[in-house]
Amino acid sequence: DPACGAPLPVLGRDVTVPLVTGGEVTYAALDYAASAPALQRVWDDVAAYAPYYGSVHRGAGYLSQLSTDLFENSRVTVAEFLDCRDDDQVVFTRSTTDSLNLLAAALPADCQVFVFETEHHASLLPWRDARVTYLNAPRTPGEAVATLERALADRDPYGPALVCVTGASNVTGELWPVRELAAAAHAHGARIVLDAAQLAPHHPVSVQELDVDWVAFSGHKLYAPFGSGVLAGRSDWLRAAEPYLAGGGASRKVARRADGGVDVEWHDSAARHEAGSPNVIGVYSIASACKALTEAGFDSIVEREQSLIRTVRAGLAEVPEVRVLSLFGDDAPRVGVISFVVEGWNSSHFAAALSAEYGIGVRDGLFCAHPLVRTLLGSDPQTQGECGAPEAAPGEKSLNAIRVSFGAGTPDEHVERFVAAVK
Ligand code: PMP
C-alpha cells in the first residue's frame, strides 16, 4: 500500500551514514517531531535572499529597506497561514518554548492558568509563577473537555484565566479536541492558547475556526531552519504587558528624566516583544515554509502522512513485543508521531541499534513530557527516570520509550526500512 503522491523535497535526502555492520546507507530521518528537515524550497528562498540581507527596522539603505519589507511581509504570510483575525498580532520569537514563556510573562495580574499534566514541558512549565491548576490526564477527548469544564466551573469567575493545550501530542501524535476545549474555555470567560508545535506541520491551523486566542509554533518543526518561532493572537494582553525583553526596537521613545532616571514609551505593536535585532533569515524561512505547505496543499500532505501512519502501525502490530503508547486509544485521529516500547529491550539500546545497524534516526527518552510518558508507561512518578537516565534492568518495566516521527518529506522507503528493522 504505497503512500499516494510524492514526498516534498527536503534537505538531507542523500546524506549517507556508516553502519556498524559495514558499508553505509542513506540516512532515514524519522525524528521529525524533534526537528524536521528543511524544505528544499525554503533553503532555495533563503539562499536567493541571503546576498541581500540587511538590518531590519534600522537602516536607510536599500538592503535594509528590502529586509524590513521581507520581515513585515512574513508577518502577513504567517497571519494568513494561521487564518488570524484582522486585529491579531504575530510576534516573532525564537521557538514555541519562547512564545509560551512570552505569553506567561504577559499574563494579567491574578490570572489563573489551567493546563493538563500531559503537556510538553514547554507548555507545562512557563506558568509556574501564576495561579496554575494542573489537570489529570484524560483517557478520552470527551474526558478532556469534561475535566476542563469542571475545573473552570470551580474557578474564581471574575479574574482572568488562560487554558493552555497542545493540538497534537509530541508523544502519542494524538489530536486534542481543541475546538471543544476552546468553547469550554470561552463559556467560562477564560482564554486559550494552542501549542501547535506538532499540529502546524501536519494540519492546517485556523485560529478563527478553532476559535483559539493564541497559537504558538516553531520554525524548525515546520520545515524551516532553527532559531525562529511564532506567537500569534489577541493583542490586548500583549499590549498591556511589559516588554518581554527590554531594548532597542521595542521602545518608541526613551528620554532622561529630571530626577536622573529614564522614561520609556514602548511600542504597542508586535515590536514591543521583539527587542534586539531580529532574526530576519529565520523569520523569512518560516514564511517561506508556510507558503510552500499551503501551495503543496494540506489535503495531499495529510493523505500521504495517514498512509505512512497506517504502514507503521500495521508493521508494529505484527510484533508481539511492541506496545504502542496511547492515551485516547487506537481509533484516535493522530499525526505521524508514534511512541512505543519493546518488551525485553532497553529503549535507548533499541534506538541506538536502529541508528547503528539501519541508519534510522529516531528518538528515545521521555520526550520532554515526563508526566505523560510516566502515565503511559505506568511508572512511579516520584522515583522514575530522567531524560538520558539509566534504563530499566532486564525484566523490569521500561522507564522510557522510543519515538518514530515523520511528515511531508518522508519517503515510503524510510518507514518501510523502519518497520523491517523493528521486526
Ligand atoms: N510543544 C510541543 C508539543 C513540542 O513537541 C515541542 C518540541 N518538542 C515544543 C512545544 C517546544 O518546541 P521548541 O523546542 O521548538 O521550543
Q: How confident is residue 126, by pLDDT bands cut at 50, 70 and 90? A: very high
- For the Cβ of 228 lying below 6 angstroms from any atom of ligand 1, the answer is no
CB-based contact 408:342 (threshold 8 Å): no
All cell numbers assigned to 286? 518560516
Q: In this model, does residue 386 exceed pLDDT 80?
A: no
Q: Higher-confidence residue: 381 or 49? A: 49
pLDDT at residue 393 in the model: 61
Give 5's pLDDT tier (boundaries 50, 70, 90).
confident
In the prediction, which pLDDT does 214 show? 98
Given a cut of 70, whether residue 259 has pLDDT beyond it is yes
**Does 285 sit in the ligand 1 pocket, CB within 6 Å?**
no
What the chain holds in terms of domains, given with CATH numbers, is 16-30+297-422 (3.90.1150.10), 43-295 (3.40.640.10)
> What predicted TM-score, i.e. pTM, was given to this entire model?
0.95
More confident residue, 350 or 4: 350
Please compute the mean of the pLDDT values over residues 236-247 and round it to a whole number: 96
State the pLDDT at residue 390.
52
Residue 322 has a pLDDT of 96
pLDDT at 399: 81
Mean pLDDT of the chain: 94
Instruction: Supply the pLDDT for residue 4.
Output: 75
- The preferred substitution site among 118, 120, 335 for testing ligand 1, maximizing ligand atoms within 8 Å of CB, is 120
pLDDT (0 to 100) of residue 397: 67
Q: What is the C-alpha to C-alpha distance for residues 325 and 316, in angstroms, rounded to an integer?
A: 12
Nearest to 162 by CA among 91, 111, 94, 90: 111
Measuring CA to CA, which residue among 45, 47, 37, 100 is closest to residue 74?
45
368 is catalytic: yes
Q: How far is the CA of 2 from the centre of ligand 1 (A)?
A: 30
pLDDT per residue as tens digits for the range 161-216: 999 999 999 999 999 999 999 999 999 999 999 999 999 999 999 999 999 999 99
pLDDT digits (tens, 9 = 90+) for 55-100: 999 889 999 999 999 999 999 999 999 999 999 999 999 999 999 9
Handedness of CA 192, 197, 203, 208 (dihedral sign): positive
CA angle 329, 333, 338 (to 5 degrees): 70
Q: C-alpha cell of 204?
A: 492546517
218 touches ligand 1 (CB under 6 Å): yes
Q: Rounded to an integer, what is the distance from CA 310 to the centroid of its chain?
A: 23
Cell of 338: 508514534
Residue nearest atom 6 in ligand 1 by C-alpha distance: 197
* C-beta 213 within 6 A of ligand 1: no
Instruction: Compute the radius of gyration of the chain from its Cα atoms.
Output: 22
Residue 340 has pLDDT above 60, yes or no: yes
**ipTM for the complex?**
0.99
Q: How far apart are CA 213 and CA 162, in angstroms?
A: 9
pLDDT, tens digit, 9 for 90 and up, residues 347-362: 999 999 999 999 999 9
pLDDT, position 156: 83
Q: How far apart are CA 194 and CA 210, in angstroms?
A: 9
